[in-house]
Structures are given as C-alpha cells and as structure tokens.
Amino acid sequence: MKFGRLAGPGSVRLDDAPEPAPRDGEVTVRLAACGVCGTDLEKLRGNYRSAGILGHEPVGRIAAVGAGVPGLSEGDRVFAHHHVPCLACEVCARGDVTFCPTYASTNLDPGGFAEVFRVPAANVRGGAVLRLDDRVDWPTGALLEPAACALTAIRRVGLPDRASVLILGLGPVGLLYARLARAGGAGWVGGTEIAPLRRAAALRGGADVVVDPREPDAVRTAVDRATDGRGVDLAVVATGQPDVARTAFEAVRRGGTVNLFGLPEAGSRLDVDLQQLYLRGVRVVPSYATTEPDLAEVHRLVVDGKLAVADLVTHRVPLARIDEAFRLAGRPDEAVKVIVTGAAF
C-alpha cells in the first residue's frame, strides 16, 4: 500500500509498505480523508521537536477488526484519534491528560496519510475510535480533531459568560476556535489574519470584526471599540509567531487570559514585560491537543447543527498527490483547509 512520509526537510512523498493487519485489540481503517494540519507543516519545515509521523485527522471505514474489540465492525465509518493518555499517572489524575507522558507516544501506524492504517490497542481501549453519525460527511469528519483541540482550549481557559475573544491567526484551527467561541456564548469575537480568504471565512462563521494585523493600529482600534478600551477577556495566540503573542498580551484586559494555542517553533522566545503581566494579573494558559470527551462533544455539536465546519474545506487532493496537498496547505492566500482523500471517500 501507499502512505505519505517525511522525506527530509521540506519534502513529503509517497512510500510503499505492507498493508497492516490488526492484532488483538486493534482495528485497521481504510482512509477516506485526512486533513493537513499546521503541525504537519511544521514537521515538514523541521520546526517541530516531535517530528515523525504525519497525519492525525483521519476518517475512513474500518477495514478489519482484531480479536477482542467490542462495538466496532468492518465497514463502520469512523474517526480515529492518534493520541490517548494513560489515565494512571499523576498528570492524568490532575486532569491534564493531554500533557500525559504517554499521550504523545501513542500513534497511528504508519500515520493518517495511508491507504490503510492501524489503530493500536491502547487507542481502541481508550475510546479513540469514534463512530461517525450518518449526518457527518467525510470532510466534516476530517475537521473533528482540530475543532476538538479548540474546544479543549476553551474549556481549559474557562470562557467567561458573554466574553470578548480575540483570535490572532485565523488558519483552519483559529477559524474553528472562533466558531466554537461563538457557539459557546462569547459576546464578541474578533480576529486578525493576513490572508483575505481566511478573513472572509471568519466573517462567514460569525466573527464580529476581522482585521489585517499589518495595518497600523488596526488591532488596538478594534479591541478598544469592542471593549471601551478595557481589553479583551481572552486573547488567543493561534499561530506560533512570537510577535503575535506580544500583541495578545497588549490586547488582553487586566485579569484577562492569554491562551497559547498555536504551535511555536522549537526554540522560540517570548519578549514581554513580566512586571506588567504581574501588575495586570494576566493569566497565561497553554493548551495542547484534545481528549476523547471533547471529540465526542464536537461530533455532537456538528450533528445537532450547532457547529458548521465543512465550508472551511477548500481543497480535496488524492493521496497520490500528497505533495501538492502540502504545497496548497502552506499557501494561505489560496487555501483554508486542505484534505487528502483516500479510496473510501
């Protein structure tokens, strides 16, 4: 079978591997679609310390079921989550399950960009194989994981009622964050984004104001108008650029929260006045990845018609042209969300 892998910095290509067979407690899935995520792009650029396996937003049909797997059958339409926590360590006991040492060590084999991939027994036991409702089409299914990452972040920061939220960086996951914040009762949702295509997607999804951060004073003016000069309750750094993080600290109110949500490059440094953060009481909350309960909740929101995501998919590229998919995903002026499609699509 064919699967996509890193072939050195800046290069992704198809390679051959034997089609995996499920062992006891495992399932294999025939690919329908898998989104190209920002972390996939960072791995391609060599900016991610955990570089390696590509593709973690896959949906498809179960190809085979190993012994001892209840509730799943060949042909089921599913989403498969790549990481699961151990639920036994101190980190998990404190509720910080995505920071569990085991979490990032679990993964799909050989990754989500494969004609058929294997879901390990630990993931199956952990509830990481989610059966899709018939109303959830493949493009929507491929957006469940990034949407759930945004929901996990929103829950982690504790969104106040009728909160003012500024999202800096409206890539696919930033756009999903904006829509979930609105669905969760935010009173004002603003955003910053350079690419016109993505600014339009934010406004279409219910954002109140979206500005080009390159325009002088555009961010400060938008925030001041929305908050009478107080600053926003929540500023979300949905990109890894350190200068964007600095803008978030300037935009947040006294006692407000900055959510570090986008993946920074390895070795990034933050240049902020710590005394000002101290005196203004600004909370800094990082959020990484998502959990099975939040994936199930996002699935429910989609099924209930409370969260629309499929319109964010601008390109569907067959697995055979995975290099093209990655090129498109790295061009924000041309694409919002790119998905790679397989035979089950």
Q: Which of 247, 271, 286 is the last residue of a domain?
A: 286
Whether the pLDDT of residue 174 is over 80: the answer is yes
Helix axes 242-251, 218-227, angle to 10 degrees: 30
Q: Are residues 215 and 274 in the same domain?
A: yes
* Rounded distance between C-alpha atoms, residue 172 and residue 337, angstroms: 6
Helix (H/G/I), strand (E/B), else coil: 272: coil
DSSP annotation of 126 reads T
Return the residue matching tokens 């390696």.
52
Omega prior to 110 cis, within 30 of 0? yes
Whether the pLDDT of residue 45 is over 90: the answer is no
Q: Are residues 132 and 165 in the same domain?
A: no
pLDDT digits (tens, 9 = 90+) for 93-122: 999 999 999 998 999 999 999 999 999 999
Q: Are residues 130 and 13 in the same domain?
A: yes
Q: Are residues 164 and 38 in the same domain?
A: no
Q: Are residues 16 and 88 in the same domain?
A: yes
Beta strand spans in the chain (E):
2-6, 12-16, 27-35, 58-65, 77-80, 116-119, 129-131, 164-168, 188-192, 209-211, 232-237, 252-260, 283-286, 313-318, 337-341
Tell the burial category of 330 from Cβ atoms under 10 Å away from its Cβ (0-12, 13-18, 19+): middle
Does any domain span residue 298?
no
CA nearest neighbour of 172 among 309, 53, 304: 309
272 or 282, higher pLDDT: 282
What pLDDT does 49 receive?
Answer: 60
Calculate the alpha carbon distances from 87 to 93, 97, 102 in Å. Answer: 7, 7, 9
DSSP annotation of 307 reads -
Residue 6 CA from chain centroid, whole number: 20
In which band, very low, low, confident or very high, does the pLDDT at 50 lie, cut at 50, 70 and 90? low
Q: Are residues 281 and 213 in the same domain?
A: yes
DSSP annotation of 114 reads B
Does any domain span residue 61?
yes
Does any domain span residue 301?
no
Q: Are residues 115 and 165 in the same domain?
A: no
Between 157-166, 187-196, 259-268, 336-345, the lowest mean confidence (pLDDT) is in 259-268
CA nearest neighbour of 4 among 112, 139, 92: 112
If one counts every other C-beta atom within 10 angstroms of the C-beta of residue 172, the result is: 29
Does any domain span residue 10?
yes
* DSSP string over 26-83: -EEEEEEEEE--HHHHHHHHT--TT-------EEEEEEEE-TT-TT--TT-EEEE-S-
Does any domain span residue 299?
no
CA nearest neighbour of 80 among 51, 49, 40, 121: 121
Does any domain span residue 295?
no
- Which CATH number characterizes residue 59's domain? 3.90.180.10
What pLDDT does 268 receive?
Answer: 87
Strand pairing of 2-6 and 252-260?
unpaired
Does any domain span residue 293?
no
In this prediction, residues 38-66 reach a mean pLDDT of: 88
In this prediction, residues 148-157 reach a mean pLDDT of: 98
Q: Are residues 97 and 7 in the same domain?
A: yes
Q: Are residues 91 and 157 in the same domain?
A: no
Q: What is the pTM of this model?
A: 0.97
Q: Are residues 187 and 261 in the same domain?
A: yes
Contacts of 200 (CB under 8 A, 6+ apart): none
What pLDDT does 44 receive?
Answer: 87
127-146: burial string, b at 16+ Cβ within 10 Å, e else: ebbbebeeebbbbbbbbbbb
Domain that holds residue 162: 148-286
Q: Are residues 139 and 154 in the same domain?
A: no
Given a contact cutoff of 8 angstroms between Cβ atoms, the answer to whether 116 and 31 are in contact is: yes
Q: Are residues 173 and 126 in the same domain?
A: no
In this prediction, residues 298-319 reach a mean pLDDT of: 97
pLDDT digits (tens, 9 = 90+) for 213-234: 999 999 999 999 999 999 999 9
- The total number of structural domains in the chain stands at 2
- Which CATH number characterizes residue 251's domain? 3.40.50.720
Does any domain span residue 66?
yes
